[in-house]
Amino acid sequence: MMSINRFLTLLLVALPSIWIFTAAQTTIPLYPHKIPNALPSKDQETNKDNVIRNVSKPTLSIFLPDAAVANGTAVIVCPGGGYGVLVIDREGYQVAKELNKSGIAAFVLKYRLPSEETMQDKSLGPLQDAQQAIKTVRERAAEWKIDPQKIGIMGFSAGGHLAATAGTHYDSTFIANTNKTSLRPDFMILVYPVISLLDKIGHKGSASNLLGASPGIEKAKYFSNELQVTKTTPPAFLTHAGDDTVVPVSNSIKFYEALNAKGVPSDLHIYAKGEHGYLKVPSFEEWYGRCRQWMRTNGFLPSN
């Protein structure tokens, strides 16, 4: 039988690794105080099979890589779900763990889902949350051993729209920012993203949930990110499937063309098959391997 002293010695040895595992998956409120643009309302959030609905209290889940492989790069991950739900595990937590394997600190953003019951302006809630996430990670970069100039944002489907909106609207501040912290992500990773909210190629469900059933044309254009690219828009990695019948591949093509026209260094990888969600093909390692290579080429990951 193990002696009590032997047991305590083993426990003390194990505690640091246990602490690291716990700390690497901490969830914090996104806003330390009052949530901007929020209306008094009852919390009606639900989580069934890791699909979250009715988010009114945003959070940031922190996944830190092992110190032996950490390289200072960080990525804020925005799950998709048409601005109606959040596919929080498959397009959030699982991705964060894979990013950690590459030495990247990952932050899964549980952003508010647009609702007139919980927000004064439902079109701004998700963007405010993305800006607050960038601000939080950049201001606490030293604490989390992150390079403040290597903070990217990643999004899937409607989360890709949010990530692209953060990248194209960073110079319009929708949150309190007394320190004037840069809200510009250093790069974007957009996976089968919604980009446009215009009728021709936009995803109607995302547009309706974010802007309402009959938004004005100017508002639809403002949130159609292919129209908002400038020379200072962050570089992007885009991937999409040509057979996507939910979000047409033209979303990624139009955004890439806009980035390329402004001289923003970006990659676009289109797969013949994959449909929406990449449920069978391409594999995660296939498209993410290409993403890693793009990050190395552009200096966001070490070259070795």
- Residues with Cβ < 8 Å from 10, sequence gap 6 or more? none
Give the residue among 30, 101, 33 at the shortest CA–CA distance from 59.
30
Q: What was the pLDDT predicted at 304?
A: 74
Q: pLDDT over 70 for what percent of the chain?
A: 92
Which residue has 């690497």 as its token pair? 24
Which pLDDT band, with edges at 50, 70 and 90, does 70 fall under?
A: very high
Classify residue 33 by burial, with Cβ atoms within 10 Å: 0-12, 13-18, 19+: exposed
Residue type, 247: V
Residue 303 lies in a domain: no
pTM of the prediction? 0.92
Domain contains 249: yes
The answer to whether residue 156 sits within a structural domain is yes
HSE (side-chain half, CA atoms, 13 Å) at 285: 1
What pLDDT does residue 200 have?
Answer: 84
Question: Tokens in use for 249?
Answer: 């591949």
In DSSP terms, 85 is beta-bridged to 53
State the DSSP H helix or E strand holding residue 138, giving kind and residue range, or none if neither. helix 125-139
In a domain, 14, yes or no: no
* 49's tokens: 């099979």
Name the CA dihedral angle for 155, 274, 288, 104, rounded to a multiple of 10 degrees: 30
Phi, psi of 115, deg, nearest 5: -155, 130
Asked whether residue 18 is domain-assigned, the answer is no
For 187-202, write each residue's pLDDT tens digit. Answer: 999 999 999 999 889 8
Indicate the angle between helix axes 125-139 and 158-168, nearest 10 degrees: 70
Q: What is the CATH classification number for the domain harbouring 78?
A: 3.40.50.1820
Count of structural domains within the chain: 1
pLDDT digits (tens, 9 = 90+) for 249-270: 999 999 999 999 999 999 999 9
Residue 33 lies in a domain: no
pLDDT at 144: 98
Q: Chain-wide mean pLDDT for the chain?
A: 93
CA torsion through residues 45, 77, 64, 137, sign: negative
Query: Tens of pLDDT along 130-174?
Result: 999 999 999 999 999 999 999 999 999 999 999 999 999 999 999
Look at residue 56 and tell me if it is in a domain.
yes
Query: Any idea which residue has 């209290």 for tokens?
Result: 57
- Terminal Cα distance for the chain, rounded: 48
> What's 65's DSSP letter?
P
Distance CA 204, CA 147 (A): 38
Residues spanned by the domain of 255: 45-297
Candidates 108, 121, 128, 106; CA nearest to 34 is 128
22 falls within a domain: no
Confidence of residue 25 (pLDDT cuts 50, 70, 90): confident
Highest mean pLDDT among 9-13, 134-138, 212-216: 134-138
